[in-house]
Amino acid sequence: MNPKSDQSYSIGANSDLLTFGTKSLSEKQTKLEADHDAVDRVRSAQVRFQKYWRRFWSCYLVGIVIFLAIFLPVFSLSTFGIKSQSEKQTKPKADHDGVGRVSFLAIIPAIARRIVDNTTLHVYSAQILSPNADQFTFILHISLDVPRGLRIRTDPLNLSLFNRDVTPMEPYLTVALPGYSLRGKTELSITRNVTDILNMKQFVNTLASAVYNKSFTISAKGSTIGHLGALKTPLIVDKDIELKGLNKLSGFSIDSARLIIPKEADGTNLVGVVILPNYSVFTFALGKVTLNLQSSDMVIGQATLENVVLKPGNNSVSLRGQLDMDTVIDNLPVILSTPKSALMDGELELNASGNSTIYDGKHIAYYEKLLNNLTITTKVPILMILLDTVRGLLDTTGLGDGNGINITTIMGDMSKVMDTALAARSLKFFMDGCDPVISTNLKN
């Protein structure tokens, strides 16, 4: 035998055997990568399907409803069979129609309830205007989000507003909504020139929740008939709507203030501008609001805000007040000593609480119940009051001519309209009280 002729002894004859392991590993890796890609594709398809289903489930639901409406009686007929022509025209026909109708009528309300439950109700704005003792003008701007692909026409609806915690249900307002055609996101505006307060206690409780808290809830319930094409079904709206509250008018401030010397004929000796914040979507027409001004739990005067319409956001309102100067002067050391932290910052802390709310010459009792139990606090820079007061004196005496301030003339004019002893006492007490503040500010 010639060993050279045997291929088993040839160099490279078994090269395939040497590379077999490498090829197998490569093929396995390729197969694993292909399997991973297949899994990723399946997962991606599942995610896309879930998004698609969440978006268009209602369309398929409507299609199923229509399909059942058309074919359910036919399917029911086949289950009975036809024994004779007369039976086909009488009992079997009545039976299968009854079964189909009952089945269909059982399905439709359930679907309608599901759609209504998933419908989102947004409140963009609400206005309580022209308030009276037991009624007001109510303007509501809302929107309803129905699933895409649906077009629902509703009959008129009486929507009752109530407090969920009270049982049995005691509606305090009823809002009559006209019929609407709803498709996707639909905005609705309702104006009721005369809205009666049905339950004053529950209405005041809801207002209190709105005024005193950062957020509050309005519950609404009503029933109507909904139309899906030629189909109609009862619809029940039962929603809890969470809204932002006024948070006790937190952020109330006096933007500017000055004393009027001499006081005006009606007794006004304080004018200024206050900022009333409103964090809610509600607008309240309050009218003439009178506040008690307090310092250290001591009433030192009253302030009147005319024609107040509290809109969402910050509201600048003019203030006219009457300070009881005798009370202020007699208790000036107490006023300036409490709280010391504010005074050391060069500020005077004042409190304000409701006294009366009058609209069109009539007291609005439900507003007075709220505001009279609400105390709001603000800090007024003392320097601002002094500068604004001096500026007012210059304007009054005609000394703002650019030649400087003639204090002697100003004090002389003051003495003409103020008791000399009162002026002297007020100046002394004020300087004694402010001396620590002035000294501190000079050191800084």
Give tens-digit pLDDT for 379-421: 877 766 676 666 666 665 554 444 444 444 444 444 444 444 4
- What pLDDT does residue 362 have? 96
pLDDT of residue 442: 43
Bigger pLDDT: 112 vs 300? 300
Instruction: Judge residue 6's burial from the number of C-beta atoms within 10 Å of its C-beta, 0-12 exposed, 13-18 middle, 19 or more buried.
Output: exposed
Instruction: Give the model's pLDDT for residue 418.
Output: 45
pLDDT score of 64: 72
Let me know if 272 is exposed, middle or buried by CB neighbors in 10 A (0-12, 13-18, 19+).
buried
Token representation of residue 432 = 């004694």
What pLDDT score does 174 carry? 94
As a whole number, mean pLDDT of residues 198-220 equals: 96
- Checking if the pLDDT of 76 tops 70, the result is no
pLDDT by residue (tens digit) across 106-143?
Answer: 566 666 667 766 777 889 999 999 999 999 999 999 98
pLDDT bin (cut points 50, 70, 90) of residue 334 is: confident
Q: pLDDT tier at 430 (50, 70, 90 boundaries)?
A: low
Percent of the chain with pLDDT over 70: 61
Q: What is the pLDDT of residue 38?
A: 64
Give me the mean pLDDT over the 247-259 stretch. Answer: 89
Q: Given a cut of 70, is residue 377 above it in pLDDT?
A: yes
pLDDT recorded at residue 229? 72
* Across 26-31, average pLDDT: 65
Count of CB atoms within 10 A of residue 361's CB?
A: 7
As a whole number of angstroms, the distance between CA 6 and CA 12 comes to 13
Q: Comparing 44 with 368, which gets the higher pLDDT?
A: 368
State pTM to two decimals: 0.67
> Which DSSP state fits 401?
S
> How many separate helices (H) and strands (E) can be counted in the chain?
12, 17
Average pLDDT over residues 342-354: 77
For residue 312, count CB atoms less than 10 angstroms from its CB and return exposed for 0-12, middle for 13-18, buried for 19 or more: middle
356: Cβ contacts below 8 Å, ≥ 6 apart:
288, 289, 290, 363, 368
- Position with higher pLDDT, 356 vs 14: 356
